[in-house]
Amino acid sequence: MSRPSEPRRAIPYWLLAALFLGLLFLWLILADGDYRTIAATLVTGVSTTLWVTAVAFTLAAGLGLLIALARLSRFRLLREIATFYVEIVRGIPMLVLLFYIAFVGAPQFVAFWNWALGGAIGAGLLPALSVRDFDMSGRAIAALSLGYAAFLAEIFRAGIEAVPRGQSEAAAALGLSRRQSFRFVVLPQALRTVLPPLGNEFVSMVKDSALVSALGVQDITQLGKVYSASTFLFFETYNVVAFLYLVMTIGLSLLVRGLERRLKRGWEAR
């Protein structure tokens, strides 16, 4: 007997309104010379925004997973260090963390490198570092990675703890080691749980990536700031900036919701 087909979901009114405004604004860009010039100028910053976000989120996810495992460790010292990191970093505004990494962390790292490895540097085995070796894009990526790692760690921890303990006990009964149990049993189930919130955090990072313009990184916001200051077309320029961010964030949000529904159907079918 065939399963009854699910009722077709109606397109929500907010999405229809957003699509209408998007098409209207797209027509305005194509019809108005000023908007067309602004869009052509700012669209070059889309690649920088997406590149910074993708690299920073990948690093933050890897670091966040390690921190989550440390918080779940049997060793108290690891748990305390990981908890200290999460609580401290989550309490610092992202813009402050960005400035701290860019103008405090990078120079201190260079000074420590040249001091600690002075012998190897003098012998020509290692290069001496300069603050100029770290461009602002790299500093911005480091700051976003360190900041978001604290939030992603809590998502990973919640996902791992959501897996029933009986799964690990069953894996142990089958002869799997603790590491094998986590890798082949716990982690795959946890990932199904954390993928939707991870997607939401990626969308949030796309928006927070606008903060890197404070370091002069040539993203959408920085290009808009420079263009509006030189032409005094502030209204038109920031309309285009908002439009580009909305296209990216709403598009990504719809992808995340689609992924969440697909995972839910797959889980119910099991």
User: Could you please report the per-residue DSSP string of 155-221?
Assistant: HHHHHHHHS-HHHHHHHHHTT--HHHHIIIIIHHHHHHHHHHHHHHHHHHHHHHGGGGGGGT--SHH
pLDDT score recorded for residue 194: 86
Q: Which parts of the chain sit beneath pLDDT 50?
A: 1-2
The confidence score (pLDDT) of residue 259 equals 76
b or e along 127-149 (b: 16 or more beta carbons within 10 Å of the residue's beta carbon)?
Answer: eebeeeebeebbbbbbbbbbbbb
pLDDT, residue 267, reads 57
Cβ atoms of 53 and 206 within 8 Å: the answer is yes
Cβ burial of 55 (10 Å; 0-12, 13-18, 19+) is middle
Full-model pTM: 0.85
- pLDDT for res 1: 46
Residue 17 is predicted with a pLDDT of 83
Dmax (CA) for the chain in angstroms is 79
Instruction: Choose the CATH number for 13-269 among 1.10.1040.10, 1.10.3720.10, 1.40.20.10, 1.10.1060.10.
Output: 1.10.3720.10
Q: Give the pLDDT score at 31.
A: 82
pLDDT at 269: 57
What integer pLDDT is reported at residue 258 of this predicted model?
79
End-to-end alpha carbon distance in the chain = 18
What pLDDT is stored for residue 8 in this prediction? 61
Q: What is the pLDDT of residue 100?
A: 93
Task: Give the model's pLDDT for residue 26.
Answer: 82
Tally of CB atoms within 10 A around 239: 18
What pLDDT score was predicted for residue 51? 93
